[in-house]
Amino acid sequence: MTGESTVAGFDAPGSAAVAIRRALSLGPSRSDQASKHSKFDPMMDGAVVGVSSREGASVTHQKKIGIAVNFVVLSHACANLCCADMREVDMRGRLTGKRCLITGAGQGIGRSIAEAFHAEGARVIASDLRAEYLRGLAGMITVPLDVTRTADVMEVAAQHPDVEVLVNCAGYVAVGNVLSCTNEQFDTSIAVNVRSIMNMAKAFLPGMCLRNKGSIVNIASVVSTTKAAPDRFAYAATKAAVLAMTRSIAIDFIKQGVRCNSISPGTIDTPSLSTRIAAASDPERARAALVARQPLGRLGKATEVAALAVMLASDESCFMTGADLVVDGGMSL
């Protein structure tokens, strides 16, 4: 035996296995192995098994440690091999066969969710107020939809009665405090951010209850009851309502097999955000200020929100309901 681990790839200089052996070594380096006062046990990779004046108990004790050290090394190696194997597994197909409808799917977070769902095998219905935003969503059913109009929502529900996953992502950001917020801004915020969720739930929940299976994902925000932000009076009020509606739907329909959860993003780099930044008096300074309030030092990505939506839509989250998942880079800490 050479005293080295025989697991391929784990004995390179600086590898974790070598580091463990060195860290737990109880004796001198190999340069001291020839010393007449020590004996080298190849199982110990350089550790002293016993000195000439301390045979017996010392030898037994240190051999046990040697076995433990090598067991740790082997376990570490096997664990890494398992991780490597897992990385080779194709994780796609988590939503295969599920009919999913996403509102606000024309751009930003909604579009990323639609694309992620499609990549995971879902049969996607992508809707947006503006039909031109839905171009390029290959392999999906695209539906122009004003989620504030009850009749239009009911018509889409009648056309697609088998929707199993509903993602309410349509949203509106009103900028201003309570003094500057107009009645029109407040009414639009209520209609788009709140009433739309009621419309969609009323239209699609009955079918989910009949099948005793369904998942609703509401896109909320950390700017709600989670934290405050300047000039977001109407927006924060309506997103707080989204959190409350999520929990209400969750508790009311849990016995019917319907789960309802929400995702609260922080500052996500989307076309909508870019538009608001461009409207600022100093766009460059406005963007820098947004980044500065992020503990992770960057804006979030729409794909990072979409990843959570996939999990909530899939059976992986079958024991989750009424939960709010925060993805904000530490902004609300």
Q: How confident is the model at residue 45 (pLDDT cuts 50, 70, 90)?
A: very low
Q: How confident is the model at residue 187 (pLDDT cuts 50, 70, 90)?
A: very high
In a domain, 9, yes or no: no
Domain count for the chain, please give it. 2
pLDDT of residue 76: 43
Domain end: 56, 88, 120, which one? 88
Our measurement of the distance from residue 235's CA atom to the centroid of its chain's CA atoms, rounded to an integer in Å, reads 23
Determine which of 54-58, 84-88, 114-118, 178-182 has the lowest per-residue pLDDT on average.
Answer: 84-88
Q: What average pLDDT does this structure show over 80-107?
A: 72
pLDDT of residue 51: 37
Verify that 65 and 198 share a domain, yes or no. no
pLDDT of residue 69: 41
Q: Is 133 a catalytic residue?
A: no
SS3 144: strand
In a domain, 213, yes or no: yes
In a domain, 73, yes or no: yes
Verify that 233 and 113 share a domain, yes or no. yes
Sign of the Cα torsion 16, 17, 19, 23 reads positive
Tell me the whole-structure pTM to 2 decimals. Answer: 0.73
| Marked catalytic residue, from 117, 133, 235, 253 | 235
Q: What average pLDDT does this structure show over 100-115?
A: 98
140: nearest Cα among 121, 166, 168: 121
In a domain, 11, yes or no: no
Task: Write the DSSP assignment of 155-220 as a string of letters.
Answer: HHHHH-TT--EEEE-------B-TTT--HHHHHHHIIIIIIHHHHHHHHHHHHHHHHT-EEEEEE-
In a domain, 93, yes or no: no
In a domain, 144, yes or no: yes
Verify that 266 and 138 share a domain, yes or no. yes
Is the pLDDT assigned to residue 85 strictly greater than 50?
Answer: no
Domain end: 38, 67, 88, which one? 88
Look up residue 85 and give its two tokens: 């194997």
Contact 324, 224 (CB under 8 A): no
Stronger pLDDT, 57 or 206, i.e. the higher one = 206
Verify that 281 and 311 share a domain, yes or no. yes
Per the structure, the complete domain to which residue 185 belongs is given by 99-327
Cα(9)–Cα(240) distance, integer angstroms: 52
Verify that 204 and 177 share a domain, yes or no. yes
Cα(164)–Cα(325) distance, integer angstroms: 20
| Percent of all residues in the chain with a pLDDT value above 70, rounded to a whole number | 72
Is the pLDDT assigned to residue 28 strictly greater than 50?
Answer: no
Verify that 114 and 76 share a domain, yes or no. no
pLDDT of residue 293: 86
Verify that 77 and 131 share a domain, yes or no. no
Verify that 221 and 161 share a domain, yes or no. yes
Cα(234)–Cα(211) distance, integer angstroms: 37
In a domain, 165, yes or no: yes
Verify that 33 and 166 share a domain, yes or no. no
Verify that 131 and 63 share a domain, yes or no. no
In a domain, 10, yes or no: no
Looking up residue 293, the CATH number of its domain turns out to be: 3.40.50.720
pLDDT of residue 91: 55
Give residue-wise pLDDT tens across range 130-141.
999 999 999 999
Cα(67)–Cα(301) distance, integer angstroms: 47
Domain end: 88, 120, 138, which one? 88
Verify that 135 and 200 share a domain, yes or no. yes
Verify that 49 and 154 share a domain, yes or no. no
